[in-house]
Amino acid sequence: LSSKSKPSADIASSIGAILQDEGFSEFGFAELKQPFSIALYEEWLEKGFHGEMDYLVRHLPLKKDPQSLLNSQNGGKARSAIVVTKNYVPHPEPIENWPILELGTIAAYARGKDYHHFLKASLARVIERLQVLLPNEVFCAYTDSAPVLERDLAARAGLGWIGKNTCVISRQKGSLFFLAEIYTSLDPALLQPPEKPGPDHCGTCTRCIDACPTKALVAPRVLDARRCISYLTIESREIPPEELREGIGSCFFGCDICQNVCPWNKKPIATANTNENSNLNRDDLVNDLQFVLRSSGRSLEKAFLGTPLSRAGSFGLKRNALVVAANLNLTECLPEIDALLDHERLGELAKWAKEKLLRHPKTT
Ligand code: B12
Ligand code: SF4
Ligand code: SF4
C-alpha cells in the first residue's frame, strides 16, 4: 500500500511496530521545520562557545533548513522525522573483559562499542522494512555527526524537555540516552506529530549548574563547550588551559557529572544497578594509565578500535592520562610522565603533571 492509500493512524502505528521490533521503545514524530532554537544556536556560535568544533559553524545552513539535508544527499525532499532514543545505562553493546571501561573515569556512553556504528546499523534495518511498507517514500538515518539539531528535534517530537544541563530529559527515562533520527519524505500529517514541545520539569533546581567542576554551564541551558570536560577530553586537539586542569578531576574520557546529579536520572541509574558511584580501584587505574602513557599510537589505535575512545586519538588519550594521573596523585606514573617531558606537544603538560605530583606526596 502506498502512503496515499493508507489511513494516517495505520501508518504511524505500523512504523511504531517496526521501531519496537528493532529495539526502539521510545520514539516520536516531528515535522521538519526551522528549529525552535536556531537563534540560540547562532548566538552560541557567535560567542565562540563551540571552541575548535568548526564543523558546527559549517552545519548552520543545513540545521536552519532541515528539509534541504536529504535533498542535498539523494534528491529526496524530507518533510518529517522519526526520532528515536537508545538508553546507554546499561550500555546496549558492552565490551567484555576490558578493564579500562570498568573504572568510572569514562563517560557511560563510551563504555561499549561506538554508537555511531550500531545505531546506524539498527536504523538501516528499520529503513529496509519501512521501504517495503512505503515504497514511494525516501528515508535516511542520522545520529550525532550529521548537520541535525538533534536536541531541538527530540523536544519537537515530544521526547522530553531541554534541561538546564542542556540535555534532553524524559520524565520516565531521565537523560542517559542517545538520539538518532530518520528523515523521510512522508507527509507530517500522516504522522500526527505534537504541535509544540512538552513542558519543562527542571523547576527551581540548579544541581547540574552547581555541580559542574569547570563552571561550563554559564547560564541555564547554555554550555560554554570550551570549559566542558567532555569537550576538553574528547573533541579538543589542544592541551587544556591550566586553570581548568584540576576541575577535570578523574575524568579520563567524557563527563557525566551534570547528568548524574540530576534527580530525573536517579531512578534509571538505580534500576540499571551500575557502578556509577563506586570507588576507583587505584591499582587498576595506575595500570591502565601507564598503558596509555607508554603505548605507541598504533597500539592505542588497536586497543580502542570500534569504541568512542578512538576519537580522541593517541595524543588526546595521553593528554587525558597525564591530567588524571596528576589530579589523582598517581606517583606510580612518574616514569611514564618523565618519558614524555621532551614530547613536542605533550611536554609542557607532562612537566605540569610531574611538578604537581612532586608537590603532593602519595596519600594512599
Ligand atoms: C557538539 C556536541 C557536544 C559538545 C557541546 C555540547 C552542548 N551542550 O552544546 C560537547 C563536546 C561539550 C558535548 C558533550 C556531551 N554530549 Co554532545 N553533542 C554535540 C552535538 C554533535 C551537537 C550539539 C550542538 O549543536 N551544540 C550546540 C548547542 C547550542 O546546541 P544543543 O546542545 O543542541 O542545544 C540546543 C537546545 O538546547 C536548544 N534549546 C535551549 N533551550 C530550549 C528550549 C526549547 C523549548 C527547545 C525546543 C530547545 C531549546 O538550544 C540549543 C541551540 O539550538 C550533538 C549531536 C547533534 N547533531 O545535535 C551531540 C549530543 C547533543 N551529545 C550528546 C551527549 C550524550 C553528550 C555527553 C553526555 C557526552 C559525555 N558524557 O561526555 C556530553 C553532555 C554535556 C552537556 N551537558 O551537554 C547527545 C545528547 C543526548 C541527550 N539526551 O540530550 C547528542 C544528541 C548526541 C546523540 N546523538 O546522542 N556534545
Ligand atoms: S559534562 Fe561535565 S564539564 Fe560538561 S557541563 Fe556537564 S558537568 Fe560540566
Ligand atoms: S539537575 Fe535539576 S536543573 Fe539540572 S537538568 Fe536536572 S532537573 Fe534540570
Give the DSSP per-residue string, 120-172: HHHHHHHHHHHHHH-TTS-EEEE-SSSS--HHHHHHHTTS-EE-TTS-EEBTT
pLDDT 10s digits, 260-279: 999 999 998 888 766 554 56
- The answer to whether residues 294 and 149 touch, using CB atoms and an 8 Å cutoff, is no
Place of cell 537523560: 175
Q: Is 287 helix (H, G, I), strand (E, B) or coil?
A: helix
Q: How far is the CA of 224 from the centre of ligand 2 (A)?
A: 10
> What are the cell numbers at 134?
512505503
Query: What kind and span of H or E run contains 184?
Result: strand 177-184
Protein residue with its CA nearest to atom 33 in ligand 1: 151
Residue among 44, 176, 212, 250 whose CB has most ligand 2 atoms within 8 A, to mutate: 212
Residue among 205, 209, 266 whose CB has most ligand 3 atoms within 8 A, to mutate: 205
> What are the cell numbers at 158?
515530544
* 80: β partners: 31, 184
Q: How far is CA 293 from each of CA 96, 214, 254, 348, rounded to the nearest angstrom?
A: 23, 25, 18, 15
Q: How many CB atoms lie within 10 A of CB 314?
A: 17
Longest dimension (CA), the chain: 75
Protein residue with its CA nearest to atom 27 in ligand 1: 41
Q: Compute the average pLDDT of residues 239-248.
A: 98
Ligand nearest the Cα atom of residue 249: 2
pLDDT at 282: 87
Q: Compute the average pLDDT of residues 175-191.
A: 96
Q: Is the CB of 147 under 6 A from ligand 3?
A: no
> What are the cell numbers at 151?
536536541
Specify the amino acid at residue 321. A
Q: How many CB atoms lie within 10 A of CB 242?
A: 10
Q: Does the pLDDT value for residue 99 go beyond 70?
A: no
Protein residue with its CA nearest to atom 4 in ligand 2: 228
Q: Compute the average pLDDT of residues 198-209.
A: 97
Q: Is the CB of 257 under 6 A from ligand 3?
A: no
Q: Is the CB of 217 under 6 A from ligand 2?
A: yes
Protein residue with its CA nearest to atom 1 in ligand 2: 255
Q: Compute the average pLDDT of residues 305-311.
A: 94
Q: Is the CB of 175 under 6 A from ligand 3?
A: no
Q: Does the pLDDT value for residue 302 go beyond 50?
A: yes
> What are the cell numbers at 11?
501508518
Q: Which atom of ligand 2 is nearest to the CA of 223?
A: 5
pLDDT at 104: 58
pLDDT at 70: 77
How sure is the predictor about 95, in pLDDT bands with cuts at 50, 70 and 90? confident
| Displacement of CA 218 from its chain's centroid (Å) | 19
Q: Does the pLDDT value for residue 314 go beyond 80?
A: yes
- The answer to whether residues 83 and 29 touch, using CB atoms and an 8 Å cutoff, is yes
pLDDT 10s digits, 110-159: 999 999 999 999 999 999 999 999 999 999 999 999 999 999 999 999 99
Q: Is the CB of 206 under 6 A from ligand 3?
A: yes
How sure is the predictor about 74, in pLDDT bands with cuts at 50, 70 and 90? low
**168-169 vs 80-87, strand pairing mode:** unpaired
How far apart CA 239 and CA 352 sit, in angstroms, is 11
How far apart CA 316 and CA 106 sit, in angstroms, is 14
Q: Which atom of ligand 3 is nearest to the CA of 209?
A: 4
The full DSSP string for 229-277 is HHIIIII--SPPPHHHHGGGTT-SB---HHHHT-GGGHHHHHHHT--TT
What is the DSSP secondary structure assignment for residue 76, as one 8-state letter? P
pLDDT at 228: 99
**Through-space distance between the first and last CA atoms of the chain, rounded to whole angstroms:** 69
pLDDT at 363: 52
How sure is the predictor about 6, in pLDDT bands with cuts at 50, 70 and 90? low
Among the options 144, 210, 284, 342, which is catalytic? 144
How far apart CA 21 and CA 303 sit, in angstroms, is 33
- Known active-site residue 210: no
Q: Which atom of ligand 1 is nearest to the CA of 53?
A: 1
